């Protein structure tokens, strides 16, 4: 392998990235040039900033301060690197080894070239100069012994890039199947959300008792303590396993090595360098072996051997027929039959699983952090205010649950894509199509609302009247948003990119309407807060208790919205029939 081939591959990588950002219009090209210039400026600024920060800012810093600074740098770098990995997995223009193998070079050389070319990313270009500048500044301010930070930081970068390349190759081998590819992207996104919440969970759940301020219920003992003891008590104590974790967790070896070098001990830095380099080498060797197996077809043969035996003809038709022939009480048969496959399509879509997983994880994390605080009982002056606020909190929980499903309700045909042609050819009344779409979204929106309501009820111990009123508000809010969503879905449909929740390029008018409808979502949720407000007013005037008033008014509003929803299906169904061809063109045209 000669230098001209390496230069050609690097140029190919740059050209693919340039084409990705500049295709479409000259404005994109100008933006790309500006972004490149800004990136070069940030690279220079990062190197100079690291040099100045290490030489002047951290010249008199203690070893623990160096530990904290390096930990923050490593955590931010890993977070940005993970975002870049998610973006790279969803790209369609990557350097494929199948195309590079036509060159007169060995697979080992092409593997190394592709490894180097695949890591020419913005995150590495921004952080690496800053890290090297910081190492240089620390060597200048604290002595030559800090030069051991260079191999430690570079071995850490090598470890991250090698493990990332191994993980990326494994994921690409899984994503040969397009359906599996979307599921992998959704799963990686959920894992990224969980990893992003780990520091929040640690500092709010585990480390809260270690960093909590001293108690103030013993003023006599505080007065008897010496000034040195008082100063020591005011400083937050580190958790017992905090420093021990830096010896066993590889990403924390850089901070541990910097702290040890500041204390005059060079062995942790040397050990961390060797350990990170060894882990990176093992990851790179594993990636190369998996690449060889993949291109020799060994993984395909293994998958063929483990493939399940084909079932007999008609074995799965009974369950499918039972699923499609389900009848919903009080719902026309045509709408019930269409609602079942609509709901099955949503549950099988990876982007829906990603959205549902994120929306379920977030309230659970908030609930865990709330219960871990162990707050004491409220004071007597705050109890009336908390009791009066409970109906509003329940209504707010219902509204917050609908916030996660507003994209589905306001674009009900965008996820159908090419499947919308089957709806056009379907000999069914269009009002039943809208009703079936709303019924397919009912388990999602209603399930999220009930989950939020259960969490709020468990935390605040809501009275039965408030819970019943919140259930009525949940039903009325769903019907109201379904009416608005039916109109918006027919008026401004847009295609959703497969495997993500990102809309494709839509006309400016459609994008403006989408922005306005999402901006006015809180206005549509205002009627949910009217019954609690009137109940509070009636109780303040000593007419009736607020609980029964809130429930009765919420029930009356539900009846009104149900009548309006039923009346809107006929006119919106006719509107859908007139705009079917426009919707087909909007949701089936691939504009990437």
| 403 & 541 share domain | yes
| 260 & 339 share domain | no
| 341 & 284 share domain | no
Average pLDDT over residues 166-193: 64
| 251 & 369 share domain | no
| Cα–Cα dist 382/521, whole Å | 31
| 292 & 352 share domain | no
Torsions phi, psi of 249, nearest 5? -95, 115
The answer to whether residue 153 sits within a structural domain is: yes
pTM, two decimals, is 0.57
| 358 & 273 share domain | no
The answer to whether residue 394 sits within a structural domain is: yes
Q: Is the pLDDT of residue 277 over 90?
A: yes
Token digits for 5? 């081939």
| Cα–Cα dist 117/7, whole Å | 10
| The pLDDT of residue 306 | 46
The answer to whether residue 316 sits within a structural domain is: no
More confident residue, 1 or 563: 563
The answer to whether residue 171 sits within a structural domain is: yes
More confident residue, 147 or 176: 147
Helix (H) or strand (E) run with residue 420 in it: helix 420-424
Count of structural domains, the chain: 2
| 458 & 553 share domain | yes
DSSP conformational letter for 325: T
The answer to whether residue 202 sits within a structural domain is: yes
| 403 & 288 share domain | no
Last residue of one domain, picked from the residues 299, 323, 342? 299
More confident residue, 118 or 363: 118
| 417 & 537 share domain | yes
Span 244-266, pLDDT tens digits: 888 888 888 999 999 999 888 88
| The pLDDT of residue 567 | 92
pLDDT confidence tier of residue 75, bands split at 50, 70 and 90: confident
| Domain boundaries, position 416 | 333-588
| Cα–Cα dist 222/220, whole Å | 5
Q: At what angle do helices 464-491 and 430-460 cross, to 10 degrees?
A: 150
Residue 38 exposure: Cα atoms within 13 Å on the Cβ side? 7
Residue 498 region, left (φ>0) first, then alpha (ψ -120 to 50), else beta? beta
Span 21-68, pLDDT tens digits: 656 556 666 766 777 787 788 888 888 888 888 888 888 888 888 898
| 280 & 392 share domain | no
CB 93 within 8 A of CB 20: yes
Span 287-296, pLDDT tens digits: 888 877 776 6
| 255 & 356 share domain | no
The answer to whether residue 307 sits within a structural domain is: no
CB 447 within 8 A of CB 359: no
Across the chain, mean pLDDT equals 76
| 292 & 398 share domain | no
Q: Percent of the chain beyond pLDDT 90?
A: 14
CB 287 within 8 A of CB 165: yes
Q: Is the pLDDT of residue 8 over 70?
A: yes
CB 549 within 8 A of CB 538: yes
Helix, coil or strand: residue 503: strand
Span 460-510, pLDDT tens digits: 888 889 999 999 999 999 999 999 989 988 888 888 766 566 667 667 777
Q: Is the pLDDT of residue 316 over 60?
A: no
The answer to whether residue 326 sits within a structural domain is: no
| The pLDDT of residue 561 | 94
Span 317-373, pLDDT tens digits: 454 445 445 566 678 888 888 888 888 877 777 667 666 666 666 666 666 655 555
The answer to whether residue 321 sits within a structural domain is: no
């Amino acid at each position: 392998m000669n230098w001209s081939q390496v230069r050609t591959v690097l140029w190919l990588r740059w050209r693919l990235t340039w084409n990705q950002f500049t295709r479409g219009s000259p404005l994109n090209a100008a933006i790309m040039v500006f972004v490149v210039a800004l990136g070069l400026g940030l690279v220079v600024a990062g190197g100079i900033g690291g040099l100045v920060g290490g030489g002047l800012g951290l010249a008199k810093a203690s070893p623990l301060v160096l530990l904290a600074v390096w930990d923050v740098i490593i955590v931010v770098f890993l977070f940005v690197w993970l975002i870049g990995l998610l973006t790279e997995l969803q790209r369609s223009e990557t350097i494929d080894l199948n195309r590079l193998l036509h060159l007169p070079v060995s697979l080992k050389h092409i593997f190394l070239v592709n490894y180097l070319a695949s890591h020419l990313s913005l995150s590495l270009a921004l952080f690496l100069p800053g890290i090297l500048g910081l190492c240089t500044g620390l060597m200048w301010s604290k002595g030559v012994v800090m030069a051991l930070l260079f191999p430690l930081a570079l071995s850490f970068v090598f470890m991250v890039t090698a493990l990332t390349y191994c993980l990326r190759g494994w994921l690409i081998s899984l994503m040969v199947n397009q359906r599996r590819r979307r599921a992998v992207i959704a799963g990686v996104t959920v894992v990224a959300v969980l990893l992003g919440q780990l520091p929040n969970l640690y500092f709010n759940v585990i480390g809260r008792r270690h960093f909590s301020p001293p108690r103030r219920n013993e003023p006599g003992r505080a007065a008897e303590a010496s000034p040195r003891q008082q100063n020591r008590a005011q400083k937050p104590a580190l958790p017992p396993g905090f420093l021990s974790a830096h010896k066993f967790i590889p990403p924390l070896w850089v901070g541990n090595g910097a702290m040890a070098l500041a204390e005059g001990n060079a062995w942790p830095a040397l050990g961390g360098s060797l350990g990170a380099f060894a882990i990176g080498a093992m990851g790179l060797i594993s990636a190369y072996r998996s690449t060889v197996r993949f291109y020799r077809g060994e993984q395909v043969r293994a998958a063929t051997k483990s493939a399940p035996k084909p079932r007999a003809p008609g074995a799965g038709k009974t369950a499918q027929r039972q699923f499609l022939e389900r009848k919903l009480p009080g719902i026309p048969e045509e709408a019930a039959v269409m609602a079942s496959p609509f709901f099955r399509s949503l549950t099988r879509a990876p982007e829906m699983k990603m959205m549902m997983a994120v929306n379920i994880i977030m309230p659970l994390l908030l609930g865990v952090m709330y219960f871990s605080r162990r707050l004491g009982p409220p004071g007597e002056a705050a109890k009336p205010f908390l009791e009066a606020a409970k109906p509003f909190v329940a209504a707010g929980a219902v509204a917050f649950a609908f916030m996660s499903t507003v994209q589905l309700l306001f674009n009900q045909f965008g996820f159908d894509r090419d499947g919308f042609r089957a709806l056009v050819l379907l000999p069914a009344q269009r009002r039943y199509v809208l009703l079936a779409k709303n019924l397919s979204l009912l388990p999602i929106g209603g399930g999220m609302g009930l989950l939020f309501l259960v969490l709020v009820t468990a935390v605040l111990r809501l009275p039965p009247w408030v819970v019943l009123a919140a259930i009525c508000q949940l039903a009325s809010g769903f019907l109201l948003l379904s009416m608005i969503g039916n109109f918006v879905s027919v008026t401004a449909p847009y295609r959703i990119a497969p495997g993500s929740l990102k809309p494709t390029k839509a006309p400016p008018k459609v994008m403006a309407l989408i922005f306005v409808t999402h901006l006015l979502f809180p206005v549509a949720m205002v009627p949910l807060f009217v019954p609690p407000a009137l109940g509070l007013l009636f109780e303040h005037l000593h007419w009736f208790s607020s609980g029964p008033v809130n429930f009765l008014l919420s029930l009356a509003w539900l009846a009104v919205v149900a009548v309006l929803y039923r009346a809107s299906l006929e006119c919106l169904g006719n509107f859908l029939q007139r705009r079917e061809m426009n919707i087909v063109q909007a949701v089936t045209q691939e504009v990437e």
